[in-house]
Structure 1
Amino acid sequence: MSTHQKFEQRLTVFRQQFAVTLAMQNSLMQQMELLQRSFVCIEDEWNDMRKQIIS
């Protein structure tokens, strides 16, 4: 295999790995958003419960 072909092959592998990494990052960001929303809901419920206990 020529040096050029080897380089092309390495570049292809790099591009694939880069794409996978970006996809994983996006997936993690979505997961973080879901967790944050979930936390906000729990916080709201907790505040409602506290108001009921106090009153």
Structure 2
Amino acid sequence: MVEHMLDFMLGPMRGITSFYMDHLLYCNIIVIFSYFASKFFKRKKNNFIK
């Protein structure tokens, strides 16, 4: 029942969800690293302007 609902709601995104669940650790590391990189470059850019 739940599988049918997920297939209907997610549609083609279902494949991306299974890839994300299989590689959860690597995906989360990429997200966290990109967050800190954006904070670092934004701070560096603001210091340069002042």
What TM-score do you get using the length of structure 2 for normalisation?
A: 0.55
| TM-score, with structure 1 as normaliser | 0.51
Structure 1: unaligned runs, 5 residues or longer: 1-23
Q: Gaps (5+ residues) in structure 2?
A: 1-20
1:1-55 superposed matches below 5 A: 25=22, 28-55=23-50
Identity of aligned residues (%): 7
Instruction: Compute the RMSD of aligned alpha carbons.
Output: 1.4
Indicate the structure whose relative CO is greater, using CA pairs within 8 Å and at least 6 residues apart.
2
Q: Which runs of 4+ in 1 moved over 2 A?
A: none
